[in-house]
Structure 1
Protein backbone atom coordinates (compact mmCIF):
# COMPACT_ATOMS: atom_id res chain seq x y z
CA UNK A 1 0.00 0.00 0.00
CA UNK A 2 2.93 2.32 0.65
CA UNK A 3 4.28 1.69 -2.87
CA UNK A 4 0.82 2.21 -4.37
CA UNK A 5 0.47 5.49 -2.49
CA UNK A 6 3.86 6.68 -3.75
CA UNK A 7 2.96 5.69 -7.31
CA UNK A 8 -0.35 7.60 -7.11
CA UNK A 9 1.41 10.73 -5.85
CA UNK A 10 3.94 10.38 -8.66
CA UNK A 11 1.04 10.21 -11.12
CA UNK A 12 -0.50 13.28 -9.51
CA UNK A 13 2.74 15.25 -9.78
CA UNK A 14 3.08 14.26 -13.44
CA UNK A 15 -0.51 15.35 -14.11
CA UNK A 16 0.13 18.66 -12.34
CA UNK A 17 3.27 19.31 -14.38
CA UNK A 18 1.37 18.49 -17.59
CA UNK A 19 -1.44 20.83 -16.55
CA UNK A 20 0.98 23.68 -15.82
CA UNK A 21 2.81 23.25 -19.13
CA UNK A 22 -0.42 22.96 -21.11
CA UNK A 23 -1.91 26.04 -19.46
CA UNK A 24 1.25 28.11 -20.00
CA UNK A 25 1.23 27.30 -23.73
CA UNK A 26 -2.50 27.98 -24.10
CA UNK A 27 -2.28 31.19 -22.08
CA UNK A 28 0.42 32.62 -24.37
CA UNK A 29 -1.89 32.32 -27.38
CA UNK A 30 -4.96 33.38 -25.42
CA UNK A 31 -3.34 36.56 -24.12
CA UNK A 32 -2.11 37.48 -27.60
CA UNK A 33 -5.64 36.99 -28.93
CA UNK A 34 -7.17 38.99 -26.06
CA UNK A 35 -4.83 41.93 -26.69
CA UNK A 36 -5.58 41.99 -30.40
CA UNK A 37 -9.31 41.49 -29.81
CA UNK A 38 -9.31 44.52 -27.50
CA UNK A 39 -8.03 46.56 -30.43
CA UNK A 40 -10.29 44.95 -33.04
CA UNK A 41 -13.44 45.24 -30.90
CA UNK A 42 -12.80 48.57 -29.21
CA UNK A 43 -15.77 50.19 -30.99
CA UNK A 44 -18.11 47.19 -30.57
CA UNK A 45 -19.35 47.18 -26.96
CA UNK A 46 -21.35 44.00 -27.49
CA UNK A 47 -18.37 42.03 -28.76
CA UNK A 48 -16.13 43.57 -26.11
CA UNK A 49 -18.51 42.39 -23.41
CA UNK A 50 -19.23 38.94 -24.88
CA UNK A 51 -15.48 38.27 -25.13
CA UNK A 52 -15.02 39.48 -21.53
CA UNK A 53 -12.24 41.83 -22.62
CA UNK A 54 -12.60 44.41 -19.86
CA UNK A 55 -10.74 43.98 -16.62
CA UNK A 56 -8.02 41.59 -15.61
CA UNK A 57 -7.83 37.93 -16.51
CA UNK A 58 -8.89 35.58 -13.76
CA UNK A 59 -6.04 34.10 -11.76
CA UNK A 60 -7.72 30.89 -10.62
CA UNK A 61 -7.63 28.02 -13.07
CA UNK A 62 -11.40 27.61 -13.07
CA UNK A 63 -11.87 31.36 -13.64
CA UNK A 64 -9.26 31.37 -16.40
CA UNK A 65 -10.92 28.40 -18.10
CA UNK A 66 -14.32 30.07 -17.92
CA UNK A 67 -13.00 33.30 -19.47
CA UNK A 68 -10.94 31.59 -22.16
CA UNK A 69 -13.75 29.23 -23.18
CA UNK A 70 -16.22 32.12 -23.37
CA UNK A 71 -13.73 34.20 -25.36
CA UNK A 72 -13.19 31.55 -28.05
CA UNK A 73 -16.80 30.38 -28.22
CA UNK A 74 -18.09 33.94 -28.63
CA UNK A 75 -15.31 35.01 -31.00
CA UNK A 76 -15.95 32.05 -33.29
CA UNK A 77 -19.71 32.72 -33.24
CA UNK A 78 -19.40 36.38 -34.30
CA UNK A 79 -18.82 36.77 -38.06
CA UNK A 80 -18.14 40.52 -37.83
CA UNK A 81 -15.54 39.99 -35.15
CA UNK A 82 -13.95 37.16 -37.13
CA UNK A 83 -13.56 39.54 -40.05
CA UNK A 84 -12.09 42.23 -37.80
CA UNK A 85 -9.63 39.78 -36.23
CA UNK A 86 -8.64 38.45 -39.65
CA UNK A 87 -7.47 41.97 -40.46
CA UNK A 88 -4.93 41.54 -37.66
CA UNK A 89 -3.83 38.09 -38.83
CA UNK A 90 -5.96 36.06 -36.44
CA UNK A 91 -7.90 33.66 -38.60
CA UNK A 92 -10.77 31.40 -37.68
CA UNK A 93 -8.35 28.45 -37.91
CA UNK A 94 -6.00 30.08 -35.38
CA UNK A 95 -8.91 30.76 -33.02
CA UNK A 96 -10.13 27.17 -33.37
CA UNK A 97 -6.63 25.82 -32.68
CA UNK A 98 -6.34 28.02 -29.60
CA UNK A 99 -9.79 26.92 -28.46
CA UNK A 100 -8.61 23.31 -28.68
CA UNK A 101 -5.59 24.22 -26.54
CA UNK A 102 -7.95 25.63 -23.89
CA UNK A 103 -9.99 22.43 -24.00
CA UNK A 104 -6.70 20.55 -23.58
CA UNK A 105 -6.06 22.55 -20.42
CA UNK A 106 -9.51 21.59 -19.15
CA UNK A 107 -8.79 17.91 -19.86
CA UNK A 108 -5.41 18.16 -18.12
CA UNK A 109 -7.13 19.81 -15.15
CA UNK A 110 -9.69 17.01 -14.96
CA UNK A 111 -6.91 14.41 -15.12
CA UNK A 112 -5.00 16.20 -12.39
CA UNK A 113 -8.10 16.25 -10.18
CA UNK A 114 -8.66 12.53 -10.80
CA UNK A 115 -5.03 11.73 -9.97
CA UNK A 116 -5.24 13.88 -6.85
CA UNK A 117 -8.30 11.95 -5.71
CA UNK A 118 -6.60 8.62 -6.40
CA UNK A 119 -3.53 9.71 -4.42
CA UNK A 120 -5.68 10.77 -1.48
CA UNK A 121 -7.61 7.48 -1.60
CA UNK A 122 -4.34 5.52 -1.68
CA UNK A 123 -3.11 7.47 1.34
CA UNK A 124 -6.33 6.71 3.19
CA UNK A 125 -6.09 2.97 2.38
CA UNK A 126 -2.45 2.91 3.49
CA UNK A 127 -3.23 4.72 6.73
CA UNK A 128 -6.15 2.40 7.50
CA UNK A 129 -3.93 -0.65 6.92
CA UNK A 130 -1.25 0.87 9.15
CA UNK A 131 -3.81 1.52 11.89
CA UNK A 132 -5.00 -2.10 11.66
CA UNK A 133 -1.40 -3.31 11.86
CA UNK A 134 -0.74 -1.08 14.87
CA UNK A 135 -3.80 -2.48 16.63
CA UNK A 136 -2.76 -6.08 15.88
CA UNK A 137 0.81 -5.36 16.95
CA UNK A 138 -0.33 -3.87 20.28
CA UNK A 139 -2.31 -7.05 21.01
CA UNK A 140 0.62 -9.22 19.89
CA UNK A 141 3.05 -7.40 22.18
CA UNK A 142 0.65 -7.60 25.13
CA UNK A 143 0.17 -11.36 24.66
CA UNK A 144 3.91 -11.85 24.10
CA UNK A 145 4.70 -10.10 27.38
CA UNK A 146 2.35 -12.43 29.20
CA UNK A 147 3.55 -15.58 27.41
CA UNK A 148 7.23 -14.76 27.70
CA UNK A 149 7.16 -13.13 31.12
CA UNK A 150 9.89 -15.38 32.48
CA UNK A 151 11.96 -15.31 29.26
CA UNK A 152 12.61 -11.59 28.66
CA UNK A 153 15.42 -12.28 26.18
CA UNK A 154 12.83 -13.80 23.81
CA UNK A 155 10.87 -10.57 23.99
CA UNK A 156 13.98 -8.70 22.95
CA UNK A 157 14.38 -11.08 19.98
CA UNK A 158 10.86 -10.01 18.95
CA UNK A 159 11.96 -6.38 19.21
CA UNK A 160 10.06 -5.72 22.41
CA UNK A 161 12.36 -3.93 24.81
CA UNK A 162 11.63 -4.62 28.44
CA UNK A 163 12.19 -1.78 30.89
CA UNK A 164 14.89 -2.70 33.40
Structure 2
Protein backbone atom coordinates (compact mmCIF):
# COMPACT_ATOMS: atom_id res chain seq x y z
CA UNK A 1 0.00 0.00 0.00
CA UNK A 2 1.44 3.37 -1.03
CA UNK A 3 1.08 6.33 1.31
CA UNK A 4 2.21 9.89 0.89
CA UNK A 5 5.34 10.99 2.73
CA UNK A 6 3.26 13.41 4.83
CA UNK A 7 0.94 10.57 5.85
CA UNK A 8 3.98 8.48 6.79
CA UNK A 9 5.42 11.25 8.97
CA UNK A 10 2.10 11.74 10.76
CA UNK A 11 1.61 7.98 11.20
CA UNK A 12 5.13 7.70 12.62
CA UNK A 13 4.72 10.46 15.22
CA UNK A 14 1.16 9.45 16.13
CA UNK A 15 2.51 5.96 16.84
CA UNK A 16 5.51 7.35 18.74
CA UNK A 17 3.19 9.41 20.95
CA UNK A 18 1.52 6.09 21.86
CA UNK A 19 4.90 4.29 22.23
CA UNK A 20 3.86 1.93 19.41
CA UNK A 21 7.27 0.80 18.14
CA UNK A 22 5.81 -1.77 15.70
CA UNK A 23 3.84 0.87 13.79
CA UNK A 24 6.87 3.18 13.85
CA UNK A 25 9.05 0.41 12.39
CA UNK A 26 6.50 -0.24 9.62
CA UNK A 27 7.09 3.33 8.39
CA UNK A 28 10.67 2.49 7.28
CA UNK A 29 11.92 0.88 4.08
CA UNK A 30 13.90 -2.35 4.67
CA UNK A 31 17.23 -0.68 3.84
CA UNK A 32 16.50 2.62 5.62
CA UNK A 33 19.08 4.57 7.60
CA UNK A 34 18.65 6.55 10.81
CA UNK A 35 21.05 9.01 12.40
CA UNK A 36 20.89 11.35 15.36
CA UNK A 37 23.31 12.67 17.98
CA UNK A 38 23.53 9.20 19.58
CA UNK A 39 22.67 6.51 17.02
CA UNK A 40 23.83 5.77 13.46
CA UNK A 41 21.75 2.81 12.24
CA UNK A 42 21.18 0.84 9.05
CA UNK A 43 18.29 -1.43 8.15
CA UNK A 44 15.00 -2.15 9.80
CA UNK A 45 16.42 -4.58 12.38
CA UNK A 46 18.63 -1.89 13.93
CA UNK A 47 16.14 0.95 13.51
CA UNK A 48 13.09 -0.97 14.76
CA UNK A 49 15.24 -2.39 17.56
CA UNK A 50 16.17 1.13 18.71
CA UNK A 51 12.52 2.24 18.75
CA UNK A 52 11.46 -0.96 20.57
CA UNK A 53 14.24 -0.47 23.12
CA UNK A 54 13.31 3.18 23.72
CA UNK A 55 9.55 2.58 23.78
CA UNK A 56 9.76 -0.45 26.08
CA UNK A 57 12.09 1.42 28.44
CA UNK A 58 9.71 4.37 28.57
CA UNK A 59 6.70 2.11 29.16
CA UNK A 60 8.55 0.33 31.98
CA UNK A 61 10.02 3.33 33.78
CA UNK A 62 8.48 6.56 32.57
CA UNK A 63 5.08 6.18 30.94
CA UNK A 64 3.58 8.46 33.58
CA UNK A 65 5.60 11.44 32.30
CA UNK A 66 5.92 10.55 28.59
CA UNK A 67 4.63 13.16 26.17
CA UNK A 68 5.38 13.70 22.50
CA UNK A 69 4.08 16.45 20.27
CA UNK A 70 4.97 17.31 16.70
CA UNK A 71 4.40 20.15 14.27
CA UNK A 72 5.58 21.78 11.07
CA UNK A 73 5.17 18.62 8.98
CA UNK A 74 6.12 19.33 5.38
CA UNK A 75 6.73 16.82 2.64
CA UNK A 76 6.79 16.34 -1.10
CA UNK A 77 7.18 13.10 -3.05
CA UNK A 78 10.81 12.51 -2.03
CA UNK A 79 11.65 14.45 1.13
CA UNK A 80 10.06 15.83 4.26
CA UNK A 81 10.62 17.36 7.64
CA UNK A 82 8.99 17.85 11.02
CA UNK A 83 9.73 19.26 14.44
CA UNK A 84 8.98 17.16 17.50
CA UNK A 85 9.25 17.65 21.23
CA UNK A 86 9.66 14.81 23.71
CA UNK A 87 9.19 14.95 27.49
CA UNK A 88 10.49 11.80 29.18
CA UNK A 89 12.59 10.22 31.90
CA UNK A 90 16.08 9.24 30.79
CA UNK A 91 16.21 5.61 31.91
CA UNK A 92 19.89 5.55 32.90
CA UNK A 93 19.54 8.42 35.41
CA UNK A 94 15.81 8.86 36.00
CA UNK A 95 16.20 12.54 35.13
CA UNK A 96 13.50 14.42 33.22
CA UNK A 97 14.39 15.52 29.70
CA UNK A 98 12.62 17.99 27.43
CA UNK A 99 14.16 17.48 24.01
CA UNK A 100 13.36 19.57 20.92
CA UNK A 101 14.24 17.72 17.73
CA UNK A 102 14.25 18.68 14.05
CA UNK A 103 13.74 15.71 11.72
CA UNK A 104 14.53 15.40 8.03
CA UNK A 105 13.45 12.48 5.87
CA UNK A 106 13.74 11.06 2.39
CA UNK A 107 11.20 8.57 1.07
CA UNK A 108 10.84 5.63 -1.26
CA UNK A 109 8.32 5.80 -4.13
CA UNK A 110 5.96 3.82 -1.85
CA UNK A 111 6.09 6.58 0.77
CA UNK A 112 8.28 4.71 3.26
CA UNK A 113 11.15 6.39 5.12
CA UNK A 114 14.44 5.82 3.30
CA UNK A 115 16.58 8.13 5.46
CA UNK A 116 15.77 9.75 8.79
CA UNK A 117 18.02 12.35 10.41
CA UNK A 118 17.15 13.82 13.81
CA UNK A 119 19.07 16.86 15.06
CA UNK A 120 19.09 18.32 18.55
CA UNK A 121 21.62 20.22 20.68
CA UNK A 122 23.60 17.46 22.42
CA UNK A 123 24.83 19.69 25.25
CA UNK A 124 21.26 20.74 26.11
CA UNK A 125 20.19 17.09 26.14
CA UNK A 126 23.28 15.98 28.13
CA UNK A 127 22.85 18.51 30.91
CA UNK A 128 19.23 17.42 31.39
CA UNK A 129 19.78 13.67 31.01
CA UNK A 130 23.11 13.39 32.83
CA UNK A 131 23.02 16.28 35.29
CA UNK A 132 26.31 17.83 36.38
CA UNK A 133 28.54 15.63 34.17
CA UNK A 134 26.42 16.64 31.15
CA UNK A 135 26.55 20.29 32.14
CA UNK A 136 30.33 20.24 32.51
CA UNK A 137 31.22 17.85 29.68
CA UNK A 138 28.25 17.91 27.29
CA UNK A 139 30.29 19.91 24.78
CA UNK A 140 33.15 17.40 24.72
CA UNK A 141 33.70 14.78 22.03
CA UNK A 142 34.70 12.27 24.73
CA UNK A 143 31.29 12.44 26.42
CA UNK A 144 29.57 12.09 23.04
CA UNK A 145 31.67 9.00 22.32
CA UNK A 146 30.82 7.52 25.72
CA UNK A 147 27.08 8.15 25.27
CA UNK A 148 27.18 6.72 21.73
CA UNK A 149 29.17 3.68 22.87
CA UNK A 150 26.81 2.97 25.77
CA UNK A 151 23.76 3.36 23.53
CA UNK A 152 25.25 1.07 20.87
CA UNK A 153 26.07 -1.58 23.50
CA UNK A 154 22.56 -1.36 24.97
CA UNK A 155 21.02 -1.74 21.50
CA UNK A 156 23.30 -4.68 20.65
CA UNK A 157 22.32 -6.46 23.88
CA UNK A 158 18.64 -5.74 23.28
CA UNK A 159 18.82 -7.07 19.69
CA UNK A 160 20.60 -10.21 20.91
CA UNK A 161 17.56 -10.98 23.07
CA UNK A 162 15.11 -10.53 20.16
CA UNK A 163 13.93 -13.46 18.04
TM range (shorter): under 0.3
Q: Which has the higher contact order (CA 8 A, sep 6+)?
A: 1
Give the TM-score normalised by the residue count of structure 1.
0.24
When you count strand as a share of all residues, which structure comes out higher?
A: 2
The structure with the largest alpha-carbon Rg is 1
Give the TM-score normalised by the residue count of structure 2.
0.24
